[in-house]
């Protein structure tokens, strides 16, 4: 069984939270010390860029490249916002990290702020993660007492304040510009881009936005170096480790840290305990609710960014959700689309009106009332909705529909031909 | 209106609003405070929040009505949020929802006649490895089997009484 020396989960014991003493015992805050003592902010940015780290929140954009667009050296107010609105169904990795080891994120935030010339950071946490907020606030209190947070950190002259913001629900808050509106106390509909947040973000100031897992990787890149970090992945283009989620029809659903590029089948067998009740693998969402399905043909596929793009899907958040051979993929897709339709903020027509239409079509097909025209219409919605919505929510929502029509067209047709769901007994 | 929060709480919130460079960012904090004290946010609660924040009631209302965890209608003493997203769905959340409706004698969105529970579906709670998951009040229950629900509800009722 392939495993790896965990980085983010190195202090994780289920049911326990490690705070400052435990975190420092295993090398915690050495990355921050090294950055402040031995490196210029530009050198930190360079190291992160060289590491090949890609955003772990779903979009997979190069962190180093994102940071290179940021006006780090400009004077004036700038912000770091950590996106902890982990609401993509099938995704629970950031919660696991904050339950186990909140200082990990805090160190990543502080190094990022140093690298980007930022003095104020906000950590945006979803409503459901109350314990995570409590853990973080305790960690921040400890860090302040230890001179790791606030004015003149470790005597370096670098000062940084961190605020925890507790949200009150709604998936759209994970969209970065909606999140900024939410933080400002405005109605959290997305903003138009450009201007991008790096130019005009929170309170109109340049703002860097990164996911929790992304930031928690930064201390390891600084202590271990970019080359070492990159070498941890199993694939040539991959970099580092990944917190994979394993959920759905598995014997042992869990969250596990493994090298980036784990083959899907191996992950399911060795860490998910295999498909439950001795059934067989039918399909999975590779990285949360908005990623097109993989099928049993894809069990050898490496779960990394490039490989999954080649097979028409995305690594997303790395939250793998498995479906067994008794699952109706129309019903699964309908469940996913109902989620997206309900969570649409209502700002733009393709999303507000398009997604309920897609739900209606899927409902008709699943209940046996669907026609060939309904299936054609479903196909058309891919064209009408994708690329026409204001933000990426609707595009993500159509991921499962795209997967359904590409991999399970026959199953959809069976519903229409038989006038009932072929999997319902 | 003063009944919604104590004079001391109002003074504290007003002080924080004065001290923060961007007062409007506190709108959820103020709404949370009102909801924690009253269980939900009434029209008077919106007006109070507006006064504390120096905003119009409409500016507060458009925030309050957006978030599903801010309750703009009365709810029971404990809100049951049952996850209906994909992982919980794949492991039996629909059966749990039906069983809860049976046990409580209410439909989704309703409150029991004794004012104890409100039943609401919710999206993913981030407990996917423990699916199916249900949050009752502040407690998260994972890997919930339909036959456990009666005991869980009894426990939650007793906790309120004690």
Choose one of B64, B90, B108: the last residue of a domain.
B64
Number of domains in chain B: 2
* Widest distance between CA atoms in chain A: 73
Q: What is the mean pLDDT of residues A131-154?
A: 98
- Do B85 and B153 lie in one domain? The reply is yes
Tokens of A280: 């067989």
How far, in Å, CA of A32 to CA of A40, rounded?
Answer: 12
A221-274 pLDDT, tens digit each: 999 999 999 999 999 999 999 999 999 999 999 999 999 999 999 999 999 999
A282-334 pLDDT, tens digit each: 999 999 999 999 999 999 999 999 999 999 999 999 999 999 999 999 999 99
- Do B58 and B82 lie in one domain? The reply is no
Question: What confidence category does residue B162 fall into, taking pLDDT thresholds of 50, 70 and 90?
Answer: low
Q: Has residue B109 been placed in a domain?
A: yes
- b/e B67-105 (16+ beta carbons within 10 angstroms → b): bbbbbbeebbbbbbbbbbbbbbbbbebeebbebbeebbe
Q: Is B86's CB within 8 Å of A321's CB?
A: yes
Question: What confidence category does residue A92 fall into, taking pLDDT thresholds of 50, 70 and 90?
Answer: very high
- Do B108 and B133 lie in one domain? The reply is yes
| pLDDT at A80 > cutoff 90 | yes
Is any Cβ of chain B less than 8 angstroms from the Cβ of A126? yes
Angle between helices A212-224 and A41-51 (to 10 degrees): 100
pLDDT of residue A169: 93
| Exposure of A138 in the CB half-sphere (CA atoms within 13 A) | 16
- Find chain A residues with C-beta within 8 A of B52's C-beta: none
pLDDT of residue A353: 97
Helix locations, chain B, DSSP H? 7-19, 27-38, 43-53, 57-64, 86-90, 93-104, 149-161
- Do B82 and B60 lie in one domain? The reply is no
pLDDT of residue A1: 83
- Closest-CA distance, A303 to chain B, in angstroms, reads 19
With CA atoms as reference, report the closest residue to A215 among A143, A129, A107: A107
| pLDDT at B2 > cutoff 60 | no
Q: Has residue B43 been placed in a domain?
A: yes
- Do B131 and B98 lie in one domain? The reply is yes
- Do B18 and B90 lie in one domain? The reply is no
SS3 of A234, please?
A: coil
How far, in Å, CA of A280 to CA of A302, rounded?
Answer: 20
- Do B112 and B147 lie in one domain? The reply is yes
CATH (domain of B113): 3.40.30.10
CA–CA distances in Å: residue B6 to residues B2, B33, B47, B48:
6, 11, 15, 12
Interface test with A, best of B23, B27, B86 (most A CBs within 10 A): B86
pLDDT of residue B3: 85
Domain that holds residue B56: 2-64
Question: What confidence category does residue A425 fall into, taking pLDDT thresholds of 50, 70 and 90?
Answer: low
Tokens of B20: 């923060």
Question: What confidence category does residue A364 fall into, taking pLDDT thresholds of 50, 70 and 90?
Answer: very high
Instruction: Give the one of B31, B85, B138 whose C-beta lies nearest to A130's C-beta.
Output: B138
- Do B57 and B86 lie in one domain? The reply is no
CA-nearest residue to B130 within chain A is: A253
Q: What is the mean pLDDT of residues A168-181?
A: 97
- Closest-CA distance, A94 to chain B, in angstroms, reads 9
pLDDT of residue A316: 97
| Chain B, window 53-92: residues with a beta carbon less than 8 angstroms from a chain A beta carbon | 53, 62-63, 66-70, 84-87, 89-91
With CA atoms as reference, report the closest residue to B20 among A177, B28, B152: B28
Q: What is the mean pLDDT of residues B118-142?
A: 96
B13-23 pLDDT, tens digit each: 999 999 998 99
Instruction: Give the one of A185, A321, A342 whose C-beta lies nearest to B87's C-beta.
Output: A321
Which phi and psi (to 5°) does residue B89 adopt?
Answer: -60, -45
- Mean pLDDT for chain B overall: 95
- Do B85 and B151 lie in one domain? The reply is yes
Q: Is B130's CB within 8 Å of A335's CB?
A: no
Q: Has residue B69 been placed in a domain?
A: no
B34-82 pLDDT, tens digit each: 999 999 999 999 999 999 999 999 999 999 999 999 999 999 999 999 9
- Do B84 and B56 lie in one domain? The reply is no
What percent of chain B stands above pLDDT 70? 98
A310-320 pLDDT, tens digit each: 999 999 999 99
Task: Determine if the peptide bond prior to A195 is cis (ω within 30°).
Answer: yes
Tokens of A286: 């590779």
Tokens of B44: 């008077």
Tokens of B95: 């059966």
Q: Has residue B117 been placed in a domain?
A: yes
With CA atoms as reference, report the closest residue to A318 among A364, A250, A264: A264
Is any Cβ of chain B less than 8 angstroms from the Cβ of A289? yes
- Do B97 and B60 lie in one domain? The reply is no
What percent of chain A stands above pLDDT 90? 98
pLDDT of residue B160: 73
| pLDDT at A39 > cutoff 80 | yes
B97-118 pLDDT, tens digit each: 999 999 999 999 999 999 999 9
Is any Cβ of chain B less than 8 angstroms from the Cβ of A14? no
- Do B53 and B98 lie in one domain? The reply is no
- Find chain A residues with C-beta within 8 A of B135's C-beta: 128
pLDDT of residue A74: 95
SS3 of A265, please?
A: helix
CATH (domain of B21): 1.10.10
How far, in Å, CA of A75 to CA of A98, rounded?
Answer: 32
pLDDT of residue A138: 98
- Find chain B residues with C-beta within 8 A of A88's C-beta: 124
With CA atoms as reference, report the closest residue to A248 among B123, B139, B93: B93
**Hey, what domains does chain A have and what are their CATH numbers?**
20-231 (3.40.50.11540), 241-324 (3.10.20.600), 329-418 (1.20.1440.230)
Question: What confidence category does residue A378 fall into, taking pLDDT thresholds of 50, 70 and 90?
Answer: very high
Do the beta carbons of residue A107 and residue A29 sit within 8 Å? yes
Q: Has residue B72 been placed in a domain?
A: no
Burial label for A163, CB within 10 Å (0-12, 13-18, 19+), is middle
pLDDT of residue A275: 98
Is any Cβ of chain B less than 8 angstroms from the Cβ of A323? yes
| pLDDT at B1 > cutoff 60 | no
Q: What is the pTM of this model?
A: 0.96
């Amino acid at each position: 069984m392939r495993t790896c020396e965990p980085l983010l989960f190195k202090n994780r014991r289920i049911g326990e939270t490690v705070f400052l003493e435990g975190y420092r015992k295993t090398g915690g805050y050495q990355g921050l010390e090294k950055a402040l003592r031995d490196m210029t902010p530009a050198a930190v940015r360079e190291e992160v860029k060289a590491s090949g780290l890609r955003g772990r929140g779903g979009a997979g954009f190069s962190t180093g490249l994102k940071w290179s667009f940021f006006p780090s050296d400009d004077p004036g107010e700038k912000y770091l916002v950590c996106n902890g609105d982990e609401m993509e169904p099938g995704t629970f990795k950031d919660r696991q990290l904050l339950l186990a080891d909140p200082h990990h994120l805090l160190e990543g935030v502080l190094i990022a702020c140093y690298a980007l010339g930022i003095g104020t950071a906000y950590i945006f946490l979803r409503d459901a993660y109350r314990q995570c907020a409590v853990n973080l606030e305790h960690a921040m209190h400890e860090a302040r007492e230890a001179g790791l947070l606030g004015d003149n950190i470790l005597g370096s002259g670098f000062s940084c304040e961190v605020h925890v913001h507790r949200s009150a629900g709604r998936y759209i808050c994970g969209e970065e510009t909606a999140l900024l509106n939410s933080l400002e106390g405005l109605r959290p509909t997305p903003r138009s881009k450009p201007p991008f947040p790096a130019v005009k973000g929170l309170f109109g100031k340049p703002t860097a936005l990164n996911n929790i897992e992304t930031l928690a990787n930064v201390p390891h890149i600084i202590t271990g170096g970019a080359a070492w970090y990159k070498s941890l992945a199993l694939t040539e283009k991959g970099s580092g480790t990944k917190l994979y989620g394993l959920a759905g029809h598995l014997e042992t659903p869990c969250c596990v840290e493994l090298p980036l590029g784990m083959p899907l089948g191996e992950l399911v067998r060795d860490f998910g305990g295999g498909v439950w009740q001795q059934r067989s693998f039918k399909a999975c969402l590779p990285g949360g609710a908005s990623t097109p399905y993989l099928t049993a043909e894809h069990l050898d596929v490496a779960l990394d960014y490039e490989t999954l793009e080649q097979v028409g899907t995305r690594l997303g958040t790395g939250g793998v959700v498995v479906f067994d051979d008794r699952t109706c993929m129309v019903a699964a897709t309908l469940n996913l689309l109902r989620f997206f339709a309900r969570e649409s903020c209502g700002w733009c027509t393709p999303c507000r009106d398009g997604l309920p239409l897609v739900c209606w079509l899927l409902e008709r097909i699943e209940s046996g009332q669907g026609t060939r025209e309904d299936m054609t219409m479903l196909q058309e919605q891919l064209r009408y909705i994708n690329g026409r919505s204001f933000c990426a929510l609707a595009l993500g929502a159509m991921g499962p529909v795209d997967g359904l029509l590409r991999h399970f067209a026959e199953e959809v047709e069976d519903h229409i031909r038989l006038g009932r769901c072929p999997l319902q007994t | 209106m003063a009944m919604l929060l104590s004079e001391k709480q109002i003074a504290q919130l007003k002080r924080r609003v004065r001290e923060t460079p961007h007062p409007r960012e506190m709108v959820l904090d103020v709404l949370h405070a009102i909801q924690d004290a009253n269980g939900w946010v009434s029209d008077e609660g919106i007006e109070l929040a507006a006064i504390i924040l120096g905003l119009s009631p409409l500016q507060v209302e458009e925030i309050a009505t957006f978030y599903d965890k801010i309750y703009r209608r009365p709810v029971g003493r404990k809100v049951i949020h049952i996850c209906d997203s994909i992982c919980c769905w794949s492991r039996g959340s629909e059966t749990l929802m039906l069983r809860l409706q049976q046990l409580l004698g209410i439909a989704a969105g309703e409150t029991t006649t004794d004012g104890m529970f409100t039943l609401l579906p919710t999206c993913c709670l981030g407990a996917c490895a423990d699916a199916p998951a249900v949050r009752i009040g502040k407690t998260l229950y994972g890997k919930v089997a339909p036959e456990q629900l009666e005991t869980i509800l009894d426990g939650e009722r007793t906790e309120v009484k004690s």
